[in-house]
Amino acid sequence: MPDRRASGPAAAATGASLLRARGFHPDGTRLFTTENDYENGRGIVGVWDAEKDYRRLTSFRSGGIGPHDMLLRQHRGKMQLAIANGGIETHPDSGRAKLNLPQMRPNLSLLSLDGQLQDKVELPADLHLNSIRHLAQAQDGSLGFAMQWQGDLGDDVPIVGLYRPGAAPQLLAEDDPRRRNLQGYGGSLAFSADGSLIAVTSPRGGVVQVMETASGQMLREYQLRDVCGLITAPNGFIASSGDGKLFALEGPKVTALSHHNLAWDNHLIRLS
């Protein structure tokens, strides 16, 4: 049944559901939002009518707990939703406490636009504490996902993975000791323009790491204090930091683009 508890997307943040991410249908008529239904311990996707004052049309399950990021993608000629279900259950009555760490099961769910589950990717059991948080999409439809480890920060775990339809998830830089420099935290990620590279930021570690998508090997690392925002640029990437800086990352070269007297937040979005 359609969920009509809220009168607009902003209202979702004030009730039992908390809005996390949002994306428009390519024709502009619908807005999709990821939300946490705290009372029932499940993730929700809300659907809103962008042509009629953002009236809530319906909602459906996200495929997991704690949906964080979401992308709209085309698969076999049809649009679908890719949702990073972080797997962490929280509740406003418990502050920021994580209520289900022993039972965490993060996943990447692929849903039709009416909520039918089309594919689901889960990590191996020994990585069930690796919360899938952020997504990026390459031109060929491949998805990258960045994770945030909820276990001991001394654990040596992968933080970046790739999803391709019909294949097991590929975890990157598994044998590279430099991945420890991420300190278990992927903040944002982006593909290079040709899809041959994927980069991830870690504000906790103060690094950007660039990996090859074909081999899964790490290519290079940049050290940038409090870096988190990241987008694709024609010849590499652009990154932002919490101390107001923007950087161009091209090959081994880092170029400071600007420095403002403000603190950039965690993510960058390209406006076309």
pLDDT digits (tens, 9 = 90+) for 111-122: 999 999 999 999
Q: How far is CA 31 from CA 25, 45, 66, 74, 212, in A?
A: 6, 10, 19, 16, 33
Mean pLDDT, to the nearest integer, of 127-143? 95
Q: What is the DSSP letter of 154?
A: T
Mean pLDDT, to the nearest integer, of 3-19? 43
Helices within 152-231 (DSSP H only): none
The domains located in the chain, with CATH, are 1-92+104-122 (no CATH), 135-272 (2.130.10.10)
Please give the pLDDT value at position 205.
Answer: 96
Q: From CA 221, how far away is CA 39, in angstroms rounded?
A: 42
* Cα-trace Rg, the chain: 18
**Alpha-carbon 57 to chain mean position:** 25
Per the prediction, the chain carries an average pLDDT of 90
Residue 123 burial (CB < 10 Å; 0-12/13-18/19+)?
buried
**pLDDT by residue (tens digit) across 222-256?**
999 999 999 999 999 999 999 999 999 999 999 99
